[in-house]
Structure 1
């Protein structure tokens, strides 16, 4: 028994000498993970960046709008609206256009006083420009497509508002308040102007145009008006003038016997040419 016990003790002593010494520390308990160490520079370093970190700000000079000049990023959002005239389209820049009244540019010659109107007429295919309170109406030629024209108009409007230029180079070029009531106006004329300003003009402006008071003949009872913007040359303008405006004026002002449209020289020539072609 004593001999067997001594052999067991000797075997245990040998096994103890051969076994590796346990490490003083456990690396998975005390060592700092590599990707959390400030000295780490491996691929796992990306875990130190928050997952929702914002990318670095882009250089404004690389904006796609730079081709329109200045390297300034544009934030204007322009909306469009159709009109009864298929050749006219309303553009809403989201900013005031005319503070008072409206302004019509039937040709490029009349647009020399306005940088915006001049820029729009520089676009091939634009035949008329009109400024309303918060919109710009552009009329095109029949052979020009809106698919081509709209991006050019967008660019011209954005360039104008970013340039800081005034709408008119000469303040006297702005449209006069044709419906303003003066002291020397008769009661009939005052009533006509009030109806035009409060009842008729807002409805016409909704269609991208305007109507200008040109006078009243008390002897014949004829009111002379001028259609502007999209309403000028619109196929339904004569119907609007007679069925809508004339009926309303004659209803509220019995002295009014009719309404006539007054045309400029260029418009008369265009109508005469159209009649000869037909």
Structure 2
């Protein structure tokens, strides 16, 4: 029998913690808002008996928990982690995946983005735990949804984050002609309960993040830039179907390099946003340390 260990990982949201196991827990992604929704997950049902648990999300090798405001994670996270370890090491089931209904109610709607070549398709459920970008079908070998989208002749690039998919089209097609087809395609794929990305892809992503933490040691200025981007810029960029990542900071020239992804990549208005939004904000908040912000398309 496998022996499970749990690592508690903080997230950008103070109400949510991530409990990461050293072995895979499930093949799919599961989110539960209450104990009634968790009929197919004995683990989630047990967690909901804790009065401060608001949402349970289970995927790959981790369980993410959202709390109510009646407690802080600092007070209870050790007890919750221990309870999870004991549950898993007792051999109790996490999710009875064979009991999951094949067809799941899914809503998908389209949002126009500032980039005329990109449409954002928003789902009523979380579909991936972090960002994924695919420039071609070869890059999407571990992402079944993106791989199938690339079989459509007008799909150029696919970007996914949290609860949405941003699709970049070739100029040969107009959105009026393909919008409905894409929306229904994504909705049917999700309703069939198919994996958006494979368990292997989730594992690779997590390993990459951990390796990045080991390899990268940012100076104080770079870390301050990253914190500003995370808090003030990323949420706004995500609402437009894109993403921004810190690349580097050159102290001598005062130049900040960032990577633009999704709808932001190649967007005609990205230069304006970069100069009049991000660059101005960093200059105002960090003074003479920042002279210029330059962008690289992801």
TM-score by structure 2 length?
0.58
Unaligned runs of 5+ in 2: 1-101
**Compared with structure 1, are the counterparts of its residues 150 and 174 closer, same or farther at alpha carbon in structure 2 (3 Å cutoff)?**
farther
Residue matched to 2:46 = none
1:202 lines up with 2:235 in the alignment: yes
SS in 2 for 1:139: strand
Does the 8 Å contact 1:115/1:160 carry over to 2? Answer: no
Residue matched to 1:226 = 259
1:259 lines up with 2:293 in the alignment: yes
1:119 lines up with 2:148 in the alignment: yes
Tell me the alpha carbon deviations over residues 103-146 of structure 1, each in whole angstroms, 9 at most, x when there is no partner: 22233332222111111111111111111221111111122022
1:75 lines up with 2:109 in the alignment: no
Alignment of 1:51-130 (within 5 A): 75-100=105-130, 102-130=131-159
| Separation (CA, whole Å) in 1 of partners of 2:196 and 2:265 | 26
Which has the greater radius of gyration?
1
| Separation (CA, whole Å) in 2 of partners of 1:141 and 1:195 | 34
Shift of 1:193: 0.5
| Separation (CA, whole Å) in 2 of partners of 1:177 and 1:211 | 16
Q: Give the number of aligned pairs.
A: 191
RMSD of aligned Cα (Å): 2.5
Shift of 1:247: 0.9
Of 193, 196, 201, 1:170 maps to 201
Of 153, 156, 168, 1:139 maps to 168
Shift of 1:166: 4.8
More strand per residue: 1 or 2? 2
Does the 8 Å contact 1:88/1:138 carry over to 2? Answer: yes
Shift of 1:74: 6.3
Tell me the alpha carbon deviations over residues 220-254 of structure 1, each in whole angstroms, 9 at most, x when there is no partner: 21111111111111110111111111111111122
Of 205, 212, 215, 2:248 maps to 215
Does the 8 Å contact 1:241/1:259 carry over to 2? Answer: yes
Deviates more, 1:145-154 or 1:125-134: 145-154
Does the 8 Å contact 1:181/1:190 carry over to 2? Answer: no
**Compared with structure 1, are the counterparts of its residues 216 and 121 closer, same or farther at alpha carbon in structure 2 (3 Å cutoff)?**
same
Unaligned runs of 5+ in 1: 1-71, 265-278
Residue matched to 1:44 = none
Shift of 1:218: 1.6
| Separation (CA, whole Å) in 2 of partners of 1:173 and 1:121 | 22
